[in-house]
Amino acid sequence: MTNTATHIDNATFAPLTQARELVLPTREAMLQRAPSVKRFWDSNAQLLTDAWQAWEISDESPTVKPNTSLLDPRLKNAVEQAWQDPSKENAVKDLWEEVSAGVYQAQIFDPERLAELRTYLEATANAGIPTRPPYGIALNRNGAMLDQRSEGYLAAPAFQGFYREFMDSYMRPIARLLFPGVMGYDSQTFGFSIQYQTGMDTSLQPHTDASAATMNININLPDESFTGSEVDFYDQVSGNVNRIVFKPGTAMIHRGSIPHAAHPITSGTRSNLVFWLYGDRMQIPLAGQRTEQVDAKLRWKISNTKTDTYAPF
């Protein structure tokens, strides 16, 4: 019996051992989009998925897994009520403050529970399983791709379960509520984590996103301060620039077409999760496109569109 159990254990955790023996492509090769980089991720896709499944059930994986209980109680309660009765959706909208034209900010995570999420994410970062950094959006040395359409994504089952529930039950209906024009352009998801550290990948130049809606969530702990790294949002009507500072557990949501930039970080570290919504084959609303009014029940409805394989980067 002992020999059989040992054999099962070895077979279960073999992908984890094998994945840890892989040599990640160099940063230079990734930035140059070398063909060998794509071959690396494609040829090891199944191995990496199996490795994350093995890691999740190993003693190395934190006991507390990410789930929606980590979210701000007011937001969680308002969203749950809206799913039960869409006519109550204004309680969700009232939690979002417009801090710049078309840019809304709210508390997403409970600051007292952020340590649980960070513990889990730091454990995944230390798991020794290759993950692809988000070198397309910013030449970032830390962070990971989060959506299954991305090469080398964080395929840990518990995180993927949380990510899917958050995108389907929270981000999509909230984006539809604040920006009715995203309806029809929000069937597909994308996400990555990113970190700004002093002296490393300190800023992000002015840009727009290839999304219908973007949600940027700070996951710094309450006592994890930083200076600099403010985000500028450009008001295309007034021409004003509004500078916003992240607080632990807060999120900003805006249409992808709104220009924005991150200032250099001058001390500490800023850690964020970034989520996008867009339509099939990466379609996004056209500027000035007419917005059709829809019944609230349509906003609070799970998308049944098949996931495609298109990724922005």
> CA separation (Å) from 52 to 48, 149, 155, 232?
6, 16, 6, 37
Q: Please state, in angstroms and rounded to a whole number, the distance separating the CA atoms of residues 33 and 191.
A: 20
H-helix segments, 143-183:
157-166, 172-178
Mean pLDDT of the chain: 91
> Does 11 map to a domain?
no
The pLDDT of 18-30, averaged and rounded, is: 93
The pLDDT of 113-137, averaged and rounded, is: 92
Angle between helices 114-125 and 157-166 (to 10 degrees): 130
The SS3 call for residue 52 is helix
CB of 267 within 8 A of CB of 227? Answer: yes
Number of domains in the chain: 1
Longest CA–CA span in the chain (Å) reads: 74
The SS3 call for residue 104 is strand
The pLDDT of 33-60, averaged and rounded, is: 96
* Mean pLDDT comparison of 73-87, 128-142, 217-231, highest-scoring range: 73-87
> Does 245 map to a domain?
yes
Predicted model pTM = 0.93
The pLDDT of 75-85, averaged and rounded, is: 98
| Bridge partner list, 109 | 71
- How many other CB atoms sit within 10 Å of the CB of residue 42? 11
> Does 288 map to a domain?
yes
pLDDT at 6: 45
> Does 112 map to a domain?
yes
The pLDDT of 97-124, averaged and rounded, is: 96
Does the structure show a pLDDT above 60 at 83?
yes
CB of 193 within 8 A of CB of 146? Answer: yes
Domain that holds residue 170: 68-299
- pLDDT grade, residue 201 (50/70/90)? low
> Does 212 map to a domain?
yes
Q: Please state, in angstroms and rounded to a whole number, the distance separating the CA atoms of residues 175 and 181.
A: 9
> Does 57 map to a domain?
no
The pLDDT of 190-204, averaged and rounded, is: 81
CATH code of the domain covering residue 107: 2.60.120.620
pLDDT at 96: 98
> Does 256 map to a domain?
yes
pLDDT at 305: 83
> Does 205 map to a domain?
yes
Of 188, 215, 120, which Cα lies nearest the Cα of 158? 120
